[in-house]
């Protein structure tokens, strides 16, 4: 049967990798059909993708709907155009769709990802922010609506692959002693400043911050990798995905990015997933799960591998990682606050208002201010978004007061 797929965030880095696999797969089989796409800023690229994949529906920002519809018509393409957040939600819950690839960056990806869960879709999750902000609501929606959540973040996909099938089907089984899961090991590359000093980090410009040693990714996640906030977000993501307290998830720096993460079992086994650092592998795994398809990734040559290193992260230099652990312990208000503050701080760094090392300071001050307000944990997405907005305004005030 053909799997009809919606790619939300089709013009980004994950979108590129996903569509490249689908292009190859479509050439040889009818297993996958690209049903809908979304783009935000790069609308020329989105138009090219519409020409290439002929989707039935497309989502663009509200103000771009009319012009984009005209451009499609001029290109002789018959595509239904929807706009804004409600358009993304419409695509995510479209009854024709089997699979939603959630690849929008940041908090903007939450409403459509949650809508896909509520509509019982098979979700290929790249947008980690949805779990960081609303993990409890997301996981509940997945359970209540029999949705399938397949992680494509490489570390989480690796862990998923190393877990026994019953736990893959029902994450709460991870607590059953017969499966013997003792802890999870999340690997981190350490980013471009692993072997540099804090002063080097403080002096870094954008080009230096986004220059990731192993992975090619979007701008925001690349900066998050430089501060190791990305690993902090992934720690929270893993806790929700695999139903474990953060204390059972260890972060280890593995600069070669060959082992993508591990599961430790009670008998002393450590199961790992290895591969070239290319997002096409986890994406192909999730697209075809439980089958396997060709991802186009060059296989690892074990003979060519030199040393594999494992290093304990320095939580003073990479304070964002410590903040994420604390936030996970403290609860949803803190994880929403941390994600929102970080988005504001990363933007301020891109706009050259603050230094790379200020990101952790802005995040921490925002969380301290929010802790004084004793906010209630949200039980609905509107409350999640209200807390997110509050955190953003606190973080913006901190940026304005201290750095402008
Ligand atoms: P990117 O910046 O390359 O692409 C982001 C996509 O989101 C684009 O299609 C853009 O049009 C869309 N978008 C941005 N703002 C939007 C908004 N306000 N409304 C609607 N759409 C919007 O980002 P990316 O690197 O592809 O990352 C996407 C997600 O996947 C992130 O959550 C990231 O953390 C996660 N992820 C990425 C990688 C990677 O290798 N790139 C790896 C693991 C996880
Ligand atoms: Mg990752």
pLDDT band at 165 (very low <50, low <70, confident <90, very high): very high
Per-residue pLDDT, 404: 59
HSE-CB at 248 with a 13 A cutoff on CA atoms is 18
Per-residue pLDDT, 318: 98
Read off the pLDDT of residues 364-404 as tens digits, 9 standing for 90 and up: 999 999 999 989 999 999 999 999 999 999 999 999 997 65
> Range with the lowest mean pLDDT among 144-153, 189-198, 205-214, 338-347?
205-214
Check whether the bond before 318 is cis (ω within 30° of 0). Answer: no
**Ligand 1 centroid, distance to 9 Cα (angstroms):** 6
3-state class (DSSP) for residue 60 = strand
Per-residue pLDDT, 175: 98
Choosing from 210, 218, 238 the residue with most ligand 1 atoms within 8 A of its CB, the one to mutate for a pocket test is: 218
Per-residue pLDDT, 403: 65
Query: What topology is assigned to 331-403 in CATH?
Result: Rna Polymerase Sigma Factor; Chain: A (1.10.1740)
Contact between 261 and 272 under an 8 Å Cβ cutoff? The reply is yes
Instruction: Give the residue whose CA is nearest to atom 35 of ligand 1.
Output: 126
Read off the pLDDT of residues 73-90 as tens digits, 9 standing for 90 and up: 999 999 999 999 999 999
pLDDT band at 27 (very low <50, low <70, confident <90, very high): confident
CATH number corresponding to 3-151: 3.40.50.720
Question: Over the chain, what is the mean pLDDT?
Answer: 96
CATH 3.40.50.720 domain span(s) along the chain: 3-151
Residue 4 backbone zone (phi > 0: left; psi -120 to 50: alpha; other: beta): beta
pLDDT reading at 106 higher than 80: yes
Tokens of 118: 């509520």
Residues shown for the chain: 404
104 ligand 1 Cβ < 6 A: yes
Instruction: Give the residue whose CA is nearest to atom 32 of ligand 1.
Output: 127
**Ligand 1 centroid, distance to 14 Cα (angstroms):** 7
Read off the pLDDT of residues 295-335 as tens digits, 9 standing for 90 and up: 999 999 999 998 999 999 999 999 999 999 999 999 999 99
pLDDT band at 217 (very low <50, low <70, confident <90, very high): confident
Which ligand is nearest to the Cα of residue 112, counting in written order?
Answer: 1
Read off the pLDDT of residues 33-67 as tens digits, 9 standing for 90 and up: 999 999 999 999 999 999 999 999 999 999 999 99
CATH 1.10.1740.10 domain span(s) along the chain: 331-403
């Amino acid at each position: 049967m053909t799997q009809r797929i919606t790619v939300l965030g089709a013009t980004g880095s994950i979108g590129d990798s996903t569509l490249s696999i689908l292009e190859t797969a479509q050439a040889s089989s009818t297993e996958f059909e690209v049903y809908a796409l979304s783009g935000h800023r790069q609308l020329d690229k989105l138009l090219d993708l519409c020409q290439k994949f002929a989707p039935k529906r497309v989502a663009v920002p509200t103000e771009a709907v009319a012009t984009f519809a005209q451009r499609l018509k001029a290109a002789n393409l018959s595509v239904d155009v929807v706009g804004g957040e409600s358009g993304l939600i419409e695509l995510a819950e479209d009854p024709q769709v089997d699979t939603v690839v959630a690849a929008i960056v940041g908090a903007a990806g939450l409403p459509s990802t949650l809508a896909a869960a509520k509509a019982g879709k098979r979700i290929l999750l790249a947008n980690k922010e949805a779990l960081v902000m609303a993990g409890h609501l997301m996981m509940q929606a997945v359970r209540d609506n029999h949705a399938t959540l397949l992680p494509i973040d490489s570390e989480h996909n690796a862990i998923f692959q190393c877990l026994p099938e019953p736990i893959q089907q029902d994450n709460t089984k991870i607590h059953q002693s017969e499966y013997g899961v003792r802890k999870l090991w999340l690997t981190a590359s350490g980013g471009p400043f692993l072997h540099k000093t804090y002063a080097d980090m403080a002096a870094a410009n954008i080009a230096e911050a986004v220059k990731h040693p192993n992975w090619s990714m979007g701008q925001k996640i690349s900066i998050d990798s430089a501060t190791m906030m990305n690993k902090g977000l992934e720690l929270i993501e893993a806790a929700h995905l695999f139903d474990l307290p953060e204390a059972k998830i260890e972060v280890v720096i593995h600069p070669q990015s060959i082992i993508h993460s591990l599961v430790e079992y009670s008998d002393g086994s450590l199961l790992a997933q290895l591969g070239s650092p290319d997002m096409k592998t986890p994406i192909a795994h999730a697209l075809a799960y439980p089958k396997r398809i060709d991802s186009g990734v060059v296989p690892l040559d074990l003979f060519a591998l030199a040393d594999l290193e494992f290093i304990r992260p320095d939580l003073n230099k990479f304070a964002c990682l410590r903040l994420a652990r604390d936030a996970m312990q403290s609860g949803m208000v803190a994880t929403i606050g941390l994600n929102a503050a970080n988005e504001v701080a990363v933007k301020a760094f891109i706009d050259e208002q603050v230094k790379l090392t200020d990101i952790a300071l802005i995040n921490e001050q925002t969380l301290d201010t929010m802790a004084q307000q004793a906010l209630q944990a949200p039980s609905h997405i509107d409350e999640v978004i209200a807390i997110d907005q509050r955190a953003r305004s606190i973080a913006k005030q901190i940026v304005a007061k201290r750095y402008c």
